[in-house]
Amino acid sequence: MSITPSHYNTIKENSVYGRYVVNEQILDFLSRNEDRHQVKTIGSSVQGRPIKSLQMGAGPIKVLMWSQMHGNESTTTKAVLDLVNFLNEGTSVAESILKHCTLLIIPMLNPDGASVYTRVNANQVDLNRDAQERTQPESVVLRGVFDAFQPDYCLNLHDQRTIFNVGLTDKPATVSFLAPAHDPERSISKTRGVSMQLVVAMNQLLQKMIPGQVGRYDDAFNANCIGDSFQMLNVPTILFESGHYPGDYERERTREYIFYALLKVLEVISENNIDAYPQQAYFDIPENGKLFYDILIKNAQVLGEKWGDGEAIGILYVETLKGNTLEFVPSLAKSGKLDGCFGHKTYDCLNEAEREELRQQSFYQLIKA
């Protein structure tokens, strides 16, 4: 790896932290980079917030990346700012990337959604289902940039919920990738094959840091999804999904892993080293499952007759913006046998100590019988 964790800590952008990241922070960051890079206003959101891009590097290989198309998905945004800081440092790795590549970065495509912490934009539209019709200004902005820049590679940067595990294992999908399909048959075009190779490169690196915690996202084809639509236009596109790392609800650890993945993919692209990574290894990455709850309570019958024998309770946090603070509000998601499911935190009511601990929790009122 071309950067150590302690080096990472020196380039980490401290003006953004946690899950609630808004446009003002991005504008401030970009204004600090205006002297050395091309910062442009590329359009505005439904509510008139500016959408900006930053272009850096002078190489012939063009890489377009955008983050926070879903307003409540900020982890990759934080990682992208870290990436800019790293590339500003002038190390040999940074210089090599900037010599071979031109990067066009849109850190926040959906600033209205970000301000109120929603997936959708201010018209309640999911921009990742608007790639064909482009009914929304944000969708028009992204497509306009795509058409004008004519990227060789696209990186589509997102977050995923805490429910995702890897395969059937109890490992959370801390990072997931997808080489999106370009047709309903999910065939492997040359373009999609390249996307797969790049995912393989990033997976090889991440397995050394978070073994078993990388998943492959569902590749069902949907032309209205932006990644699928760019793949259809023969530009290798990769979907990044930042997921849960144990205990890290602020997603600062995941941010770091996404940064390493971004750096890796840019290194491979800039060194023209893609063929070192076998396409077939893409399928060795297990698919994501949806087997996690934030809190799993087993043998709930012990709590009272409201719960059946062997019944389990799955609780998920609802991410709720209160003022400028994001709260994780526990909500009862499912109860039943829940065999094969996992909890990021698990209580077995047959265990007296765990039962006692459970009684101390604020969510206990949701489940007491």
Whole-angstrom distance, CA of residue 132 vs CA of residue 150: 18
User: Residue 103 CB, nearest distance to Zn ion (Å)?
Assistant: 21
Please calculate the CA angle 81-83-86 and round it to the nearest 5 degrees.
115
Helix (H) or strand (E) holding 311: none
User: Residue 160 CB, nearest distance to Zn ion (Å)?
Assistant: 7
User: Residue 226 CB, nearest distance to Zn ion (Å)?
Assistant: 10
Listed residue (77, 65, 85, 145) closest to 111, CA to CA: 77
Which letter does DSSP use for residue 307 in this model?
A: S
Whole-angstrom distance, CA of residue 23 vs CA of residue 115: 7
In angstroms, what is the C-alpha Rg of the chain? 21
Q: Is 39 left (phi over 0), alpha (psi -120 to 50) or beta?
A: beta
User: Residue 157 CB, nearest distance to Zn ion (Å)?
Assistant: 8
Closest CB to Zn ion among 78 and 158?
Answer: 158
Are 85 and 124 contacting, i.e. CB atoms less than 8 angstroms apart? no
User: Residue 128 CB, nearest distance to Zn ion (Å)?
Assistant: 6
Amino acid at 141: V
**Chain residue at closest Cβ approach to Zn ion:** 158
Helix (H) or strand (E) holding 269: helix 252-270
Whole-angstrom distance, CA of residue 167 vs CA of residue 164: 9
Are 74 and 35 contacting, i.e. CB atoms less than 8 angstroms apart? no
Closest CB to Zn ion among 65 and 274?
Answer: 65
Are 20 and 117 contacting, i.e. CB atoms less than 8 angstroms apart? yes
Which letter does DSSP use for residue 286 in this model?
A: P
Q: Which residue has the tokens 């970009």?
A: 30
Closest CB to Zn ion among 158 and 344?
Answer: 158
User: Residue 75 CB, nearest distance to Zn ion (Å)?
Assistant: 10
Closest CB to Zn ion among 158 and 244?
Answer: 158
Closest CB to Zn ion among 127 and 269?
Answer: 127
Closest CB to Zn ion among 30 and 120?
Answer: 120
Which letter does DSSP use for residue 334 in this model?
A: E
User: Residue 127 CB, nearest distance to Zn ion (Å)?
Assistant: 9
User: Residue 119 CB, nearest distance to Zn ion (Å)?
Assistant: 7
Helix (H) or strand (E) holding 150: none
User: Which residue ranges make up the site for Zn ion (CB under 5 A)?
Assistant: 70, 73, 158
Strand pairing partners for 220?
A: none
Closest CB to Zn ion among 75 and 102?
Answer: 75
Closest CB to Zn ion among 100 and 158?
Answer: 158
Amino acid at 212: G
User: Residue 218 CB, nearest distance to Zn ion (Å)?
Assistant: 13
User: Residue 73 CB, nearest distance to Zn ion (Å)?
Assistant: 5
Closest CB to Zn ion among 321 and 366?
Answer: 321
Which letter does DSSP use for residue 281 in this model?
A: G
Q: Dig out the tokens for 313 from the structure.
A: 């309770």
Closest CB to Zn ion among 73 and 130?
Answer: 73
Contacts of 280 (CB under 8 A, 6+ apart): none
